Structures are given as C-alpha cells and as structure tokens.
Amino acid sequence: GFAEKGHAQVDVGLLLERLETMGKKKQQNYMHIKQGDRHGAAALVRQTSGMSPAAEEFEGAANWQEECTENLGTFAEHYRTSVASQRTTMWHRNAMEICANTLRELGAEQVIDIGSSFNPLKEEIPGIVAIDAVPAEPDVLAADFLKVEMTEGLTTPRVDPSRLGVCLAIPAAFYDAAVLSLVIRSMADQQHRREMLQRAARTLRVGGHLVIVERSPLKSLFKYRSSDDAPWRDAGLAYRWMQRGIRGVTLTVFERVRA
C-alpha cells in the first residue's frame, strides 16, 4: 500500500525523486503546472518532434505552442513531468491512500480516474481506467475529458485503433466510482469547473460515487453561497461525507442520486 510499515529500508530512488521536487526545481514545477492549468492542459503541445499522440487534435494547440515559444516555455513534456513530480510528496501519497481506502469501502469495482496524469491508484485499484489530456504514463488514455464522447451502453473506453492510447469515447452511466484528484482547481473558470463536475457525474450509474480530492475548500473553488446553489445539485449528486488528510487535503464523496 501507500503507507510505509515498520522500519522499512530507505527507498533511495524515491528519495532522489523527492529531492528533485525541492528548492528551485519545485518552483519550476509549480510554474509549469500553473501556466499549463491557466492555458488549458488540453492545448499543450511539445516543442520537440515527439508530440503527444492526442495533442495534434486539440483545438488551439498551434496557438499555444507559439505562445509558449515566445513567452512561457511550458510544453506538454514539462507539464506532465511537473504534475507527476507530486507523486513523491507526503501529502499526495497520503491523499491517494485515503482515496484508495474510500473506494474499497464503497465496494467500487468499475472506477475511472479523470485527470489522472500518472495513474497513481493503479496498484491499489485493479482495472482502474485512467484518462488525461496530457498523460504522464503509457497506461493513461489520452483525451480532453470536456470534449470526449460519452456513450451509454459502453462498458470499456473506445480507443482509436490507428493511434495508440487515444480515447475516442468513454462509458456513460456505467462506473461505480469516479475520481477527480486536483482537477477542479486546475480549471480556468467557474463554467469549466461546473462542466467538469457535471460530466464526471455522467460517467456514474445511479448509486455510484464521485470522489473529489482537493487542497482548497470546494466552496472556494466553486464560489457557491449556500447548499441551495451548490453545483452538485444540478449534476444529480448528493453530498455524503468529507475526510481530511495532511497539508490541507480534503476528500469529498458524493453519490449520484438521479440521472
């Protein structure tokens, strides 16, 4: 599991990776993540010839590449590496341990991790489907979740046979659980945050659960005033419970109560 038990030997590789996220390197990673989130991860492209398989299809990719060349210096490779660097932080490991335990307690068998980046739950949740606009691992499907087709009757994602790892459609009203880990905060505005919530809810069967992991209160992320205008109501979701982790992490569970 994610938690270390007893007095295990030091994982030197993990330690070296952790050191790389500190100091100037950590600041650079933060900058790449913030710039990528601000402009939209789905619009990121690589400056090198090894472009991400799905990047060519994303609207605005060429404009983003030109802007990055002139001003920002952030491309898909920088973004995916910077996001993946979070895997070695204590707070992220703690958050994923809580998330995995929650999914097991819910009895979720069919699970989709939206905005997964590096598929951090794959060792804990067998068969989990991971999807991201800028995948950091080969077992993560490439697609812009706000645009990918959602189809009822599917039981597995439909992929492009001519482009390895590119997702064309995902099941709707099917999954026992969906995970949004540090995804809401990455959306540029309220419209996209609410759209992300609604589309994540659509992946669930009625009775399925949405698990949201964030480091900021959902009320501040969605800017709602009371439970009456909370965004999950329009998404057919009902609040169930919230659990706290370390370093400000919160895990909030919702249930899909209507289609």
For 124-182, what is each residue's pLDDT tens digit? 999 999 999 888 889 999 999 999 999 999 999 999 999 989 999 999 999 999 999 99
What the block records as the tokens of 148 is: 């990918």
Residue with tokens 């919530």: 197
**Mean confidence (pLDDT) of the chain:** 79
For residue 193, give the H/E element and its range.
helix 190-202
Q: Tens of pLDDT along 110-119? A: 999 999 989 9
| pLDDT for the residue 249 | 95
Burial-class residue 240 by CB neighbours within 10 Å (0-12, 13-18, 19+): middle
Quote the pTM value.
0.74
Q: Between these two residues, 154 and 10, which has the higher pLDDT value?
A: 154
Higher-confidence position of 116 and 3: 116
Which stretch of 4-8, 100-104, 111-115, 123-127 has the lowest confidence by average pLDDT? 4-8
- Span 171-209, pLDDT tens digits: 999 999 999 999 998 887 899 999 999 999 999 999 999
Q: How far apart are CA 106 and CA 253, in angstroms?
A: 10
Between the CA of residue 16 and those of 11, 154, 180, what are the distances in Å?
A: 9, 42, 28
Residue 69 has pLDDT above 60, yes or no: no
Q: For residues 214 and 251, what is the distance between their CA atoms, to the nearest angstrom?
A: 7
Residue 235, classified by CB atoms within 10 Å of its CB into exposed (0-12), middle (13-18) or buried (19+), is buried
Alpha helices in 42-131 (DSSP H): 61-67, 76-84, 90-106
Q: What are phi and psi of 207, to 5 degrees?
A: 100, -10
Q: Are 201 and 183 in contact (CB under 8 A)?
A: no
DSSP label of 168: E
Mean pLDDT, range 72-79, rounded to an integer: 54
